[in-house]
């Protein structure tokens, strides 16, 4: 039964938005701090920076940077990857009692409760391959445990455990899933990522935009929202859950993982020979396809004033352009040139990873943000910007990304082009963890960071390096534990928290960034959009007429000022400019050279990356848990489903 809309409006009016706090700086503490103990390779590049005038910094950035590359990965919380990286607000940056959720209850197979704390898993556990925990919208809201508007971050274990059994007591596998919530890795598992974090800029205060899985955050990456303004303008399209654990919702805002309408069995243009050009994995049928998205996004603003001239090519124009009616003439009047853009995703077209010659077998449609928008997917002139992953490498090598700059998103998928095999000796694990987008459950961390390194090497060896910024970030946190409470700024049609979710990693690489630096600047996926707006001179999505009208209506109806994108200049969301060095931008200090970013090609395919102890032998980094007891549960299994018989083989004593 649909909730009474009047009751929902009253709920929002009474809410009062008792907000949680992200990372707060102490008095006198800098927003940007150099990392501790740079090694001999890095130390010569570490500079003393003077405070920068914001206007000057933005002018310099526009002069120096024309290409933005977003390497968009899958499903890792900040603490699960960088919780022990020196200098960040991590698992051990404060006392245990001051770390939200550090101790959590777990239910044992005999019905007794005990407590569990974060623990490190390394190469002996084959921690490159971890099973997938639940990251659907409703369970994630339960995991972060919001009380009076404040996420307590303390129910990750019990909620996950409870999703895997329905008897009186949990099974061993159910308990192991609960334990998996508190597991974290370090540079011995992902040394390439720690290498980039050590050399460039790591942000430790970036949150997923939507509390939920991949699709809403893939959409938020290019739109700053997942459809709140469409819900406000068209209440009959609201995503109303029919059950407490509804996994899919096909309304708006998008909160689940339904496939895009375009290319699915429900595609209204499917029968047209001229329009059947959007892919779908042959193993998917997309019967629960998402409704058409019609609000503004980066593909719209990047197309700029040319968009109006392209609308006649839209094969479903009246539906696709419904919420751009005032935005289109607004952009046309600005008379701004289009900016080249591309979304490169593994499996979108014919790829080296196609299984037995069948296209799209490595493709994950619900990871492709632009494909959800009819004015992209249903317009051949605009959908031409969507490509397969291999096209990125061929386009970069052939210098086909244009001479005037552009914005390019890059994503992996179910397979890996390098043809690598996970180190795990179990044949089932080897077969099941062939992916390279870093998603637990099917991707291997080594294969995933090898793809990242291959992408960065390609950029570093291209003409684009001296004019680029590379952003490595994630769609969402996998539902894994992170200790920093997000600020709850918006609620959905069910009166459940919508934004923001837990922290995710974000790194910035460029010739012009500060070396060996940590930024505490607040942000989410809107931060990436803000940076792109700055570099490309785009109007903020939030400031477009249709979006502005919808957000004003959302505040009027639901007393919520944040139903929509937050990429405008007046929002508290950061724009990633804290990563950059004024000295390098001005030329008083040399830009970071391309070889500083490169990882030798042979290292990419030599597993494990940099051997059995890369933290010691290559990175020379001491994690913040060094010397602490590591409380790995005695029955822990990193793969309760994929390798149920896993048993740790003790390391021989020297």
Does the structure show a pLDDT above 70 at 10?
no
Instruction: Give yes or no for a contact between 320 and 375, defined as CB atoms under 8 angstroms apart.
Output: yes
Q: What is the mean pLDDT of the chain?
A: 92
So what's the pLDDT on residue 244?
A: 39
Q: How large is the average pLDDT for residues 238-256?
A: 69
Cis peptide before 500 (omega within 30 of 0): yes
| Range with the poorest average pLDDT among 202-211, 307-316, 631-640, 644-653 | 644-653
The band of 284, judged by pLDDT with boundaries at 50, 70 and 90, is: confident
So what's the pLDDT on residue 274?
A: 54
The pLDDT tens digits of the residues spanning 307-333 come to 999 999 999 999 999 999 999 999 999
So what's the pLDDT on residue 246?
A: 43
Residues belonging to the chain: 654
Does the structure show a pLDDT above 60 at 352?
yes
Cis peptide before 608 (omega within 30 of 0): yes
All domains of the chain in start order, with CATH = 5-619 (3.40.720.10)
φ and ψ of 207, to 5 deg: -120, 150
| CA–CA distance, 163 with 131 (Å, rounded to integer) | 14
Cis peptide before 174 (omega within 30 of 0): no
| CA–CA distance, 578 with 644 (Å, rounded to integer) | 45
Does the structure show a pLDDT above 50 at 19?
no
Instruction: Give yes or no for a contact between 313 and 536, defined as CB atoms under 8 angstroms apart.
Output: no
| CA–CA distance, 530 with 540 (Å, rounded to integer) | 7
Question: Of 479, 375, 414, which is closest to residue 164 (Cα–Cα)?
Answer: 479
| CA–CA distance, 296 with 328 (Å, rounded to integer) | 10
Torsion of CA 69, 74, 75, 79, to 10 degrees: -40
The band of 271, judged by pLDDT with boundaries at 50, 70 and 90, is: low
Higher pLDDT, 244 or 160: 160
Torsion of CA 430, 434, 440, 444, to 10 degrees: 80
So what's the pLDDT on residue 121?
A: 98
The pLDDT tens digits of the residues spanning 104-159 come to 999 999 999 999 999 999 999 999 999 999 999 999 999 999 999 999 999 999 99
- The residues pairing with 340 across neighbouring beta strands, listed in sequence order, are 406
User: Cβ neighbours of residue 582 under 8 Å, at least 6 residues apart?
Assistant: 49, 50, 52, 56, 57, 60
Does the structure show a pLDDT above 70 at 81?
yes
The pLDDT tens digits of the residues spanning 361-395 come to 999 999 999 999 999 999 999 999 999 999 999 99
CA angle 157, 159, 163 (to 5 degrees): 115
> In which region does residue 170 sit, left (phi positive, over 0), alpha (psi from -120 to 50) or beta (all else)?
beta
> In which region does residue 74 sit, left (phi positive, over 0), alpha (psi from -120 to 50) or beta (all else)?
beta
Q: pLDDT exceeding 70 applies to what percent of the chain?
A: 92
So what's the pLDDT on residue 374?
A: 96
Instruction: Give yes or no for a contact between 473 and 503, defined as CB atoms under 8 angstroms apart.
Output: no
The band of 24, judged by pLDDT with boundaries at 50, 70 and 90, is: low
The band of 272, judged by pLDDT with boundaries at 50, 70 and 90, is: low
Helix (H) or strand (E) holding 33: strand 32-34
């Amino acid at each position: 039964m649909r909730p009474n809309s009047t009751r929902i409006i009253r709920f929002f009016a009474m809410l009062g938005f008792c907000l949680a706090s992200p990372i707060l700086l102490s008095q006198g503490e800098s927003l940007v701090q150099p990392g501790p103990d740079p090694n001999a390779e890095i130390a010569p590049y570490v500079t003393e920076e003077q405070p920068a005038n914001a206007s000057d910094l933005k002018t310099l950035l526009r002069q120096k940077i024309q290409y933005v590359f977003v390497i968009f990965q899958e499903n890792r919380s900040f603490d699960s990857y960088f919780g022990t990286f020196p200098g960040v607000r991590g698992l051990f940056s404060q006392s245990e009692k001051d770390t939200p959720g550090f101790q959590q209850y777990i239910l044992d197979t005999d019905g007794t409760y005990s407590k569990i704390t974060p623990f490190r898993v390394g190469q002996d556990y084959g921690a490159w391959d971890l099973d997938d925990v639940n990251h659907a919208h409703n369970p994630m809201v339960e995991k972060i445990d919001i009380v009076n508007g404040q996420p307590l971050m303390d129910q990750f274990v019990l909620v996950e455990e409870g999703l895997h059994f329905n008897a009186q007591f949990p099974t061993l596998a159910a308990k192991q899933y609960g334990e998996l919530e508190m597991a974290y890795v370090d540079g011995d598992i992902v040394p390439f990522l720690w290498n980039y974090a050590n050399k460039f800029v790591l942000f430790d205060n970036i949150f997923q935009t939507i509390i939920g899985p991949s699709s809403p955050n893939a959409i938020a990456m290019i739109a700053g929202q997942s459809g709140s303004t469409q819900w406000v303008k068209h209440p009959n399209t609201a995503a109303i859950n029919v059950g407490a654990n509804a996994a899919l919702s096909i309304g708006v805002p998008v909160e689940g993982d339904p496939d895009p309408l375009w290319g699915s069995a429900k595609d209204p243009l499917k029968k047209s020979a001229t329009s059947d050009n959007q892919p779908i994995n042959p193993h998917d049928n997309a019967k629960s396809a998402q409704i058409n998205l019609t609000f503004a996004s980066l593909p719209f603003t990047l197309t700029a004033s040319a968009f109006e001239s392209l609308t006649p090519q839209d094969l479903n124009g009246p539906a696709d352009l419904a919420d751009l009616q005032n935005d289109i003439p607004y952009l046309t009047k600005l008379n701004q040139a289009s900016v080249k853009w591309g979304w490169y995703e593994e499996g979108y077209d014919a790829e080296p990873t196609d299984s037995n010659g069948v296209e799209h077998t490595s493709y994950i449609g619900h990871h492709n943000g632009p494909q959800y928008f009819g004015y992209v997917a249903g317009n051949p002139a605009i959908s031409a910007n969507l490509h397969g992953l291999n096209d990125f490498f061929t386009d970069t090598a052939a210098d086909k990304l244009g001479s005037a700059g552009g914005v390019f998103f890059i994503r992996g998928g179910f397979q890996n082009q390098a043809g690598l095999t996970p180190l795990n000796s179990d044949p089932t694990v080897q077969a099941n963890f062939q992916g390279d987008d870093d998603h637990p459950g099917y991707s291997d961390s080594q294969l995933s960071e090898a793809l990242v390194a291959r992408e960065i090497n390609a950029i570093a060896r291209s003409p684009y390096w001296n004019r680029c910024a590379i952003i490595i970030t994630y769609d969402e946190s996998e539902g894994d534990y992170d200790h920093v409470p997000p600020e709850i700024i918006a609620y959905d049609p069910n009166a459940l928290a919508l934004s923001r979710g837990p922290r995710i990693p974000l790194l910035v690489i460029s010739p012009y960034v500060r070396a060996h630096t940590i930024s505490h600047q607040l942000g989410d996926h809107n931060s990436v959009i803000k940076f792109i707006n700055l570099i490309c001179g785009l109007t903020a999505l939030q400031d477009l007429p249709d979006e502005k009208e919808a957000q004003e209506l959302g505040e009027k109806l639901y007393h919520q000022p944040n139903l929509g994108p937050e990429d405008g200049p007046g929002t508290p969301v950061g724009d990633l400019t804290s990563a950059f060095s004024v000295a390098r931008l001005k030329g008083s200090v040399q830009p970071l050279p391309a070889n500083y970013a490169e990882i030798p090609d042979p290292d990419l395919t030599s597993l494990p990356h940099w051997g059995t102890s890369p933290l010691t032998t290559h990175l020379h980094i001491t994690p913040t848990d060094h010397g602490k007891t590591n409380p790995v549960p005695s029955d822990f299994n990193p793969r309760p489903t994929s390798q149920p018989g896993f048993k740790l083989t003790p390391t021989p004593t020297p």
